[in-house]
C-alpha cells in the first residue's frame, strides 16, 4: 500500500513562508500526478497545486499562482510545496495526494486515490 506523510505545517505571520513536504512510501512512481489540496474552515477541499511525476509539469490554483511553488525529488519519493507571501485566507489543513495512472498534472480530486493525513497551516494577520 502507498502511505503519504505530510510535514512542515505551522503558524506563520502574514507575508511569511512555509515549506510543506510529503513523503511517499510503498513504491516508486511513474504515470502519476501528485497534488496538494487544502480545506479551510467551512470550505470544501480545493486544489492548490499539482505536478506530473514523469515530466514535472505543474498546475496551480489562481489564488496561489506566483506565491506557491510545487516541486519533487524523485529519488526521495517526496513532493514539496513552497509557500511564500502567505495570507490569512491560506489558513487550512493541507493534504497531499497521489493519483492513479494518469498523464499530466490534474486538478480534479476525484482522480486522486491516496491521501495523507493533513498538516495544519495557520496564517495570522
Half-sphere exposure of 99 (CA within 13 A, CB side): 25
Q: Compute the mean pLDDT over every residue in the chain, rounded to the nearest whole number.
A: 94
pLDDT per residue over 31-43, tens digit each?
899 999 999 999 9
Following DSSP, what letter does each residue of the chain receive, concatenated?
--EEEEE--EEEETT--EEEEEEEESS--SS-EEEEEEE-TT---EEEEEEETTT--EEE-TTTTTTEEEEEEGGGTEEEEEE-S--GGG-EEEEEEEESS-SS----GGGEEEE---EEEEEE-
* pLDDT classification of 107: cutoffs 50, 70, 90: very high
The whole-number pLDDT of residue 113 equals: 93
Residue 28 has pLDDT above 90, yes or no: no
pLDDT per residue over 55-96, tens digit each?
899 999 999 999 999 999 988 999 999 999 999 999 999 999
Amino acid at each position: 500500500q502507498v502511505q503519504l506523510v505530510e510535514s512542515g505545517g505551522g503558524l506563520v505571520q502574514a507575508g511569511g513562508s512555509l515549506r510543506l513536504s510529503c513523503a511517499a512510501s510503498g513504491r516508486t512512481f511513474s504515470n502519476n500526478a501528485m497534488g496538494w489540496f487544502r480545506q479551510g474552515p467551512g470550505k470544501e477541499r480545493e486544489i492548490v497545486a499539482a505536478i506530473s511525476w514523469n515530466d514535472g509539469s505543474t498546475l496551480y490554483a489562481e489564488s496561489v499562482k506566483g506565491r506557491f511553488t510545487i516541486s519533487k525529488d524523485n529519488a526521495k519519493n517526496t513532493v514539496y510545496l513552497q509557500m511564500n507571501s502567505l495570507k490569512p485566507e491560506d489558513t487550512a489543513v493541507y493534504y497531499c495526494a497521489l493519483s492513479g495512472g494518469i498523464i499530466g498534472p490534474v486538478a480534479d480530486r476525484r482522480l486522486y486515490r491516496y491521501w495523507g493525513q493533513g498538516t495544519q497551516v495557520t496564517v495570522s494577520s
